[in-house]
Amino acid sequence: MNLTAKQKSSALALLAVNGERVNFDDLFLKHGAAAYDKQIYLQAQFGKTGWGFDLNSGVLAFRPPHEQPLQLSVQVLGTESDDAHTWLWAWANDSQIPPNLLTSALQLRQLGEAEHIAEFTNPELAITPQVNPARISLVASGILRGSAYFRAPYPRGAMYLLIKDPKYKRSVTRPIARVVKAFPLFLAKHHMADQRAAFMAYLKFYRLKVREEGSTVVATGPTPRSLHGEGTPDQLMAEFDARNRLVSLR
Element spanning 211, H or E: strand 209-213
Please tell me the distance from the alpha carbon of residue 158 to that of residue 85, in angstroms, as a whole number: 11
Q: Whole-angstrom distance between the N-terminal and C-terminal Cα of the chain? A: 49
Cα torsion 245, 134, 168, 74: sign: positive
Say if 170 falls within a structural domain.
no
Residue 220's pLDDT is: 95
Alpha-carbon torsion angle 89, 91, 94, 98, nearest 10: 120
Judge if 140 and 89 occupy the same domain.
Answer: yes
Whether residue 17 has pLDDT greater than 50: no
**Mean pLDDT score across all residues of the chain:** 91
Number of residues that this document lists for the chain: 250
The separation between CA 158 and the C-alpha centre of its own chain, rounded to angstroms, equals: 17
* Owning domain of residue 238: 175-249
Q: What's the total number of domains in the chain?
A: 2
**For residue 185, with 0-12 CB atoms within 10 Å meaning exposed, 13-18 middle and 19 or more buried, which class applies?**
middle
Q: Is the pLDDT of residue 233 over 80?
A: no
pLDDT for the residue 64: 85
Note whether 36 and 149 are same-domain residues.
yes
18 with 87, same domain: the answer is yes
% of the chain exceeding 70 in pLDDT: 88
Q: What pLDDT score does 14 carry?
A: 53
In a domain, 169, yes or no: no
Residues 144 and 46 in one domain: yes
Q: What pLDDT was estimated at residue 16?
A: 47
> Of 104, 136, 163, which residue sits at a domain end?
163
Q: Residue 213: pLDDT above 80?
A: yes
Residue that finishes a domain, picked among 117, 139, 163? 163
Q: Which residue has the higher pLDDT, 5 or 110?
A: 110
pLDDT of residue 12: 52
Residue 134 sits in the same domain as residue 204: no
